[in-house]
Amino acid sequence: MIQLSNVSKVYPNGTEALKKVSLFIKDGEFVFIVGPSGAGKSTLLKLLIREEKASFGSIHVNGLDLMKIPKRKIPYLRRTMGIVFQDFRLIDKMNVFENVAFAMRVIGSPEGGVKKRVKYVLKLVGLEGTEKRKPHELSGGEQQRVSLARALVNRPQILICDEPTGNIDPERSYEIMKMLVAIHQRGTTVIVVTHEHELVKEFGGRVIRIAEGEVTHDTFLPTAYNPEPYVQTMTETDEEVSSEQESDLTEQKEATDETTQKNAFGQEDQKKKEADEE
Ligand SMILES: Nc1ncnc2c1ncn2[C@@H]1O[C@H](COP(=O)(O)OP(=O)(O)OP(=O)(O)O)[C@@H](O)[C@H]1O
Ligand SMILES: [Mg+2]
């Protein structure tokens, strides 16, 4: 669950990137964020992952109050999210396998499960066989998919993508989008920032438009991929959930999805380490 109330962001140089934005995004929604360059889209995403802190207002993500969250707890917030950055942010020295595995290791996943899970996720994004290559030995579209694999590897509750199709040809863009829809259908909240109107028209769902730091439209565009507004079936609490409860939540979502591969995003029972930031 994502909730913003009257959120403003003023950068140190005085730029007011967001102005009194209020938004509620339910668990399991599929959301496009559109708007002109400089509108504040990336700023919004940065606030959600707490890369930037809001200047005013309140933000809650997955039960955590981002205005109050101490620094040491930020990794705990990010464990619940997968992020595909506009510029990939892959580590050049590491090969494809290591780039994705690193995301698991950094949150303390037991080494035993890493190999299997990374292999699985790379297959899911169509990158089987590229494990040993370095990012610079891949095409733009392949790098994008490594970035997506890395975002998915920890089974995020929320997947955030900043221009995930920005650097690739239309055919690949379409493939990436279809992948995001499939991930959404397995219960993940998916938020996609894009400039590409064609993709929005094709895939639809909730479309939020930001212009000059303000939300100017928030509508639902029905399509074959997203035929109707998402109805939340689970009850929400605004309280902080423990990591144990959190993984239960993930399992619960997956258990209800019988038509797709049951284990798609939860095949190993990833026992999270004790919430060490606690
Ligand atoms: N670190 C920063 N310091 C100062 N101003 C910033 C900073 N980051 C962004 N801005 C400004 O804030 C405004 C919103 O920027 P943001 O990156 O959120 O836009 P955007 O909607 O993502 O644009 P684009 O579509 O080009 O990626 C812009 O005016 C930008 O120049
Ligand atoms: Mg941006």
Q: Is residue 130 part of a domain?
A: no
Q: Is residue 240 part of a domain?
A: yes
pLDDT at site 131: 97
* CATH number of the domain encompassing residue 197: 3.40.50.300
pLDDT at site 245: 36
pLDDT > 90? residue 59: yes
Q: Is residue 231 part of a domain?
A: yes
Q: Is residue 45 part of a domain?
A: yes
17 lines ligand 1 (CB under 6 A): yes
pLDDT at site 275: 38
Q: Is residue 99 part of a domain?
A: no
**Tokens 């990158």 belong to which residue?**
127
Query: Whose alpha carbon is nearest atom 29 of ligand 1?
Result: 38
Going from the Cα of 37 to the center of ligand 1, the distance in angstroms, rounded, reads 8
Measure CA 210 to chain center.
Answer: 19
Helices (H), 49-95: 74-78
DSSP run (H or E) holding 82: strand 81-84
Q: Is residue 11 part of a domain?
A: yes
Using most ligand atoms within 8 A of CB, pick from 19, 21, 41, 195 the residue to mutate for ligand 1. Answer: 41
Q: Is residue 260 part of a domain?
A: no
Query: Ligand 1, closest atom to CA 195?
Result: 25
43 lines ligand 1 (CB under 6 A): yes
pLDDT at site 246: 36
The domain in which residue 18 lies consists of 2-80+156-255
Q: How many domains is the chain partitioned into structurally?
A: 1
Q: Is residue 266 part of a domain?
A: no
235 lines ligand 1 (CB under 6 A): no
What is d(CA 91, CA 103) in angstroms, rounded to the nearest whole number?
A: 11
CA triplet 258, 259, 260: central angle to 5 degrees? 95
